[in-house]
Amino acid sequence: MNLLSAQNLSHTFDYQLFCNISLDLQEGDSIAIIGVSGSGKSTLLNILSTLLKPDEGTVSIFGEDVAKMSKKKLSQIKRDELGLVFQSHYLFKGFTCMENLEVAAILSNQEVDGELLKRLKIDETLNQKVTELSGGQQQRVSIARVLTKQPRLLFVDEPTGNLDKSTANEVMDIFFEYISKRNAGMILVTHDEDLAHRCHKVYKLTNKELVRVN
Ligand SMILES: Nc1ncnc2c1ncn2[C@@H]1O[C@H](COP(=O)(O)OP(=O)(O)O)[C@@H](O)[C@H]1O
Ligand SMILES: [Mg+2]
Protein backbone atom coordinates (compact mmCIF):
# COMPACT_ATOMS: atom_id res chain seq x y z
CA MET A 1 0.00 0.00 0.00
CA ASN A 2 1.09 3.56 -0.66
CA LEU A 3 1.75 5.59 2.44
CA LEU A 4 0.81 8.63 0.42
CA SER A 5 -0.68 9.12 -3.01
CA ALA A 6 -1.31 12.45 -4.72
CA GLN A 7 -3.47 12.69 -7.85
CA ASN A 8 -3.67 15.60 -10.29
CA LEU A 9 -2.77 18.38 -7.87
CA SER A 10 -3.03 21.96 -9.09
CA HIS A 11 -2.49 25.15 -7.16
CA THR A 12 -2.50 28.88 -7.88
CA PHE A 13 -1.52 31.83 -5.74
CA ASP A 14 -0.78 35.01 -7.74
CA TYR A 15 0.03 32.78 -10.70
CA GLN A 16 -0.40 29.08 -11.32
CA LEU A 17 2.38 27.21 -9.53
CA PHE A 18 1.70 23.72 -10.85
CA CYS A 19 -1.00 21.62 -12.44
CA ASN A 20 -1.77 17.93 -12.72
CA ILE A 21 0.92 16.71 -10.38
CA SER A 22 0.74 13.09 -9.24
CA LEU A 23 3.06 11.25 -6.89
CA ASP A 24 3.18 7.99 -4.90
CA LEU A 25 5.23 7.30 -1.79
CA GLN A 26 5.69 3.72 -0.67
CA GLU A 27 6.87 2.24 2.61
CA GLY A 28 10.61 2.61 3.07
CA ASP A 29 10.77 5.10 0.19
CA SER A 30 12.30 8.54 0.01
CA ILE A 31 11.45 11.14 -2.62
CA ALA A 32 13.34 14.38 -3.22
CA ILE A 33 11.78 17.41 -4.88
CA ILE A 34 14.17 19.95 -6.32
CA GLY A 35 13.49 23.14 -8.28
CA VAL A 36 14.42 26.82 -8.33
CA SER A 37 13.29 29.19 -5.60
CA GLY A 38 9.68 30.24 -6.14
CA SER A 39 8.78 27.17 -8.21
CA GLY A 40 6.27 26.03 -5.57
CA LYS A 41 8.18 23.28 -3.72
CA SER A 42 7.14 24.40 -0.24
CA THR A 43 3.55 24.91 -1.38
CA LEU A 44 3.50 21.38 -2.78
CA LEU A 45 4.93 20.02 0.48
CA ASN A 46 2.29 21.93 2.46
CA ILE A 47 -0.40 20.29 0.34
CA LEU A 48 1.11 16.78 0.62
CA SER A 49 1.40 17.16 4.39
CA THR A 50 -2.30 18.23 4.67
CA LEU A 51 -1.53 21.76 5.89
CA LEU A 52 -2.95 23.33 2.73
CA LYS A 53 -5.92 22.29 0.57
CA PRO A 54 -5.07 22.05 -3.13
CA ASP A 55 -7.20 23.99 -5.63
CA GLU A 56 -7.64 20.72 -7.48
CA GLY A 57 -6.68 17.10 -6.97
CA THR A 58 -6.56 14.69 -4.07
CA VAL A 59 -4.07 13.58 -1.45
CA SER A 60 -4.59 10.14 0.10
CA ILE A 61 -2.76 8.97 3.19
CA PHE A 62 -2.80 5.25 4.04
CA GLY A 63 -5.25 4.83 1.16
CA GLU A 64 -7.80 7.36 2.40
CA ASP A 65 -8.63 10.69 0.74
CA VAL A 66 -7.63 13.41 3.20
CA ALA A 67 -10.47 15.71 2.05
CA LYS A 68 -13.02 13.03 2.99
CA MET A 69 -11.56 12.07 6.36
CA SER A 70 -13.35 13.00 9.55
CA LYS A 71 -11.77 15.86 11.48
CA LYS A 72 -11.00 13.44 14.28
CA LYS A 73 -9.22 10.94 12.03
CA LEU A 74 -7.20 13.66 10.34
CA SER A 75 -6.12 15.15 13.69
CA GLN A 76 -5.07 11.73 14.93
CA ILE A 77 -3.01 11.12 11.77
CA LYS A 78 -1.41 14.56 12.04
CA ARG A 79 -0.56 14.03 15.68
CA ASP A 80 0.75 10.46 15.46
CA GLU A 81 1.83 9.75 11.89
CA LEU A 82 2.99 12.97 10.19
CA GLY A 83 6.40 14.43 10.98
CA LEU A 84 6.99 17.95 9.67
CA VAL A 85 10.48 19.39 9.54
CA PHE A 86 10.03 22.86 8.09
CA GLN A 87 12.11 26.02 7.87
CA SER A 88 10.09 27.72 10.57
CA HIS A 89 10.34 25.04 13.20
CA TYR A 90 7.76 26.21 15.73
CA LEU A 91 9.53 25.08 18.87
CA PHE A 92 7.94 26.34 22.10
CA LYS A 93 10.14 29.36 22.72
CA GLY A 94 9.85 29.70 26.51
CA PHE A 95 10.68 26.02 27.02
CA THR A 96 13.96 24.20 27.27
CA CYS A 97 15.04 21.63 24.67
CA MET A 98 14.05 18.77 26.94
CA GLU A 99 10.63 20.27 27.66
CA ASN A 100 10.01 20.58 23.93
CA LEU A 101 10.92 16.92 23.48
CA GLU A 102 8.82 15.82 26.45
CA VAL A 103 5.73 17.50 25.00
CA ALA A 104 6.14 15.46 21.82
CA ALA A 105 6.79 12.28 23.82
CA ILE A 106 3.70 12.74 25.97
CA LEU A 107 1.40 13.62 23.05
CA SER A 108 2.43 10.56 21.10
CA ASN A 109 2.97 8.21 24.03
CA GLN A 110 6.60 7.52 23.13
CA GLU A 111 9.90 7.84 24.96
CA VAL A 112 12.58 10.44 24.30
CA ASP A 113 15.46 8.54 22.67
CA GLY A 114 18.73 9.47 24.41
CA GLU A 115 20.83 7.88 21.68
CA LEU A 116 19.17 10.10 19.07
CA LEU A 117 19.96 13.21 21.12
CA LYS A 118 23.62 12.22 21.27
CA ARG A 119 23.75 11.64 17.52
CA LEU A 120 22.13 15.02 16.91
CA LYS A 121 24.69 16.53 19.33
CA ILE A 122 22.02 18.17 21.48
CA ASP A 123 22.40 15.94 24.53
CA GLU A 124 24.37 18.65 26.31
CA THR A 125 21.97 21.50 25.56
CA LEU A 126 18.86 19.84 26.94
CA ASN A 127 18.35 22.24 29.83
CA GLN A 128 18.85 25.39 27.81
CA LYS A 129 15.95 27.49 26.58
CA VAL A 130 15.55 26.98 22.85
CA THR A 131 15.95 30.73 22.30
CA GLU A 132 19.52 30.49 23.66
CA LEU A 133 20.54 28.03 20.93
CA SER A 134 21.98 28.66 17.49
CA GLY A 135 19.78 28.21 14.42
CA GLY A 136 21.47 24.90 13.67
CA GLN A 137 20.90 23.62 17.20
CA GLN A 138 17.25 24.67 17.13
CA GLN A 139 16.90 22.83 13.83
CA ARG A 140 18.31 19.65 15.39
CA VAL A 141 15.99 19.95 18.40
CA SER A 142 13.05 20.21 15.99
CA ILE A 143 14.28 17.10 14.16
CA ALA A 144 14.59 15.22 17.48
CA ARG A 145 11.11 16.35 18.42
CA VAL A 146 9.64 15.12 15.15
CA LEU A 147 11.40 11.72 15.33
CA THR A 148 10.43 11.29 19.00
CA LYS A 149 6.83 10.78 17.98
CA GLN A 150 7.87 8.08 15.49
CA PRO A 151 5.79 9.19 12.49
CA ARG A 152 5.23 6.98 9.41
CA LEU A 153 5.54 9.97 7.08
CA LEU A 154 8.25 12.60 7.13
CA PHE A 155 7.92 15.90 5.27
CA VAL A 156 11.19 17.75 5.25
CA ASP A 157 11.70 21.24 3.77
CA GLU A 158 15.31 22.42 3.27
CA PRO A 159 16.47 20.63 6.42
CA THR A 160 20.11 21.48 6.13
CA GLY A 161 19.89 25.23 5.47
CA ASN A 162 21.25 26.16 8.91
CA LEU A 163 23.81 23.36 9.08
CA ASP A 164 27.38 22.97 7.87
CA LYS A 165 27.98 20.26 5.27
CA SER A 166 29.19 17.51 7.64
CA THR A 167 26.41 18.10 10.21
CA ALA A 168 23.94 18.20 7.32
CA ASN A 169 25.10 14.79 6.12
CA GLU A 170 24.90 13.31 9.61
CA VAL A 171 21.37 14.65 10.03
CA MET A 172 20.38 13.14 6.70
CA ASP A 173 21.92 9.78 7.72
CA ILE A 174 19.57 9.82 10.71
CA PHE A 175 16.53 10.41 8.47
CA PHE A 176 17.52 7.63 6.05
CA GLU A 177 18.16 5.14 8.86
CA TYR A 178 14.88 6.10 10.46
CA ILE A 179 12.79 5.46 7.36
CA SER A 180 14.37 2.10 6.66
CA LYS A 181 14.11 0.95 10.29
CA ARG A 182 10.47 2.04 10.70
CA ASN A 183 9.39 1.33 7.13
CA ALA A 184 8.36 4.97 7.01
CA GLY A 185 8.46 7.31 4.00
CA MET A 186 10.00 10.70 3.40
CA ILE A 187 9.37 13.57 1.03
CA LEU A 188 12.30 15.95 1.05
CA VAL A 189 12.38 19.40 -0.55
CA THR A 190 15.85 20.76 -1.19
CA HIS A 191 17.86 22.88 -3.58
CA ASP A 192 20.93 20.73 -2.83
CA GLU A 193 21.22 18.24 -5.69
CA ASP A 194 23.83 16.06 -3.94
CA LEU A 195 21.47 15.64 -1.02
CA ALA A 196 18.50 15.01 -3.33
CA HIS A 197 20.35 12.17 -5.02
CA ARG A 198 20.61 10.27 -1.75
CA CYS A 199 16.83 9.69 -2.06
CA HIS A 200 15.33 6.73 -3.96
CA LYS A 201 13.57 9.03 -6.43
CA VAL A 202 14.28 12.58 -7.48
CA TYR A 203 11.71 14.89 -9.09
CA LYS A 204 12.12 18.40 -10.37
CA LEU A 205 9.35 20.98 -10.16
CA THR A 206 9.77 22.92 -13.38
CA ASN A 207 7.38 24.65 -15.82
CA LYS A 208 4.48 23.78 -13.49
CA GLU A 209 5.19 20.06 -13.84
CA LEU A 210 6.84 17.47 -11.66
CA VAL A 211 9.42 15.68 -13.80
CA ARG A 212 11.26 12.55 -12.68
CA VAL A 213 15.00 13.13 -13.02
CA ASN A 214 16.22 9.87 -11.47
N1 LIG B 1 0.36 31.63 1.37
C2 LIG B 1 0.71 32.24 0.23
N3 LIG B 1 -0.02 33.23 -0.29
C4 LIG B 1 0.31 33.84 -1.45
N5 LIG B 1 1.38 33.48 -2.20
C6 LIG B 1 2.16 32.49 -1.73
C7 LIG B 1 1.87 31.81 -0.50
N8 LIG B 1 2.81 30.85 -0.30
C9 LIG B 1 3.65 30.93 -1.33
N10 LIG B 1 3.27 31.92 -2.20
C11 LIG B 1 3.94 32.26 -3.46
O12 LIG B 1 4.02 31.10 -4.25
C13 LIG B 1 5.28 31.04 -4.94
C14 LIG B 1 5.98 29.73 -4.64
O15 LIG B 1 6.38 29.71 -3.26
P16 LIG B 1 7.01 28.43 -2.57
O17 LIG B 1 6.04 27.32 -2.65
O18 LIG B 1 7.45 28.87 -1.22
O19 LIG B 1 8.24 28.13 -3.52
P20 LIG B 1 9.66 27.39 -3.23
O21 LIG B 1 9.52 26.64 -1.96
O22 LIG B 1 9.89 26.53 -4.43
O23 LIG B 1 10.68 28.48 -3.15
C24 LIG B 1 6.04 32.28 -4.51
O25 LIG B 1 5.87 33.26 -5.52
C26 LIG B 1 5.38 32.69 -3.22
O27 LIG B 1 5.46 34.07 -3.02
MG1 LIG C 1 10.57 26.71 -0.13
Q: How far is the CA of 210 from the centre of ligand 1 (A)?
A: 16
Among 43, 49, 88, say which to mutate for ligand 1: greatest number of ligand atoms within 8 Å of CB: 43
Sheet holding 201-206, edge to edge: 82-85, 153-157, 185-189, 30-34, 201-206, 209-212
Residue 188's beta-bridge partner residues? 32, 156
pTM score of the predicted model: 0.94
CB-CB contact of 8 with 23 (8 Å): no
Single out the residue of 201, 183, 157, 129 nearest to residue 37, CA to CA: 157
Give the angle 80-84-90 at the CA atoms, nearest 5°. Answer: 105
* Per-residue pLDDT tens over the stretch 94-138: 999 999 999 999 988 999 999 999 999 999 999 999 999 988 899
* Per-residue pLDDT tens over the stretch 163-188: 888 888 888 999 999 999 999 999 99
Q: How far is the CA of 86 from the centre of ligand 2 (A)?
A: 9
- Terminal CA-to-CA distance of the chain, rounded, Å? 22
**Structural domain boundaries of the chain?**
28-46+81-212
The one-letter amino acid code at 171 reads: V
Least confident of 30-39, 163-172, 198-207: 163-172
DSSP 155-169: EEESTTTTS-HHHHH
| CATH architecture assignment, domain 28-46+81-212 | 3-Layer(aba) Sandwich (3.40)
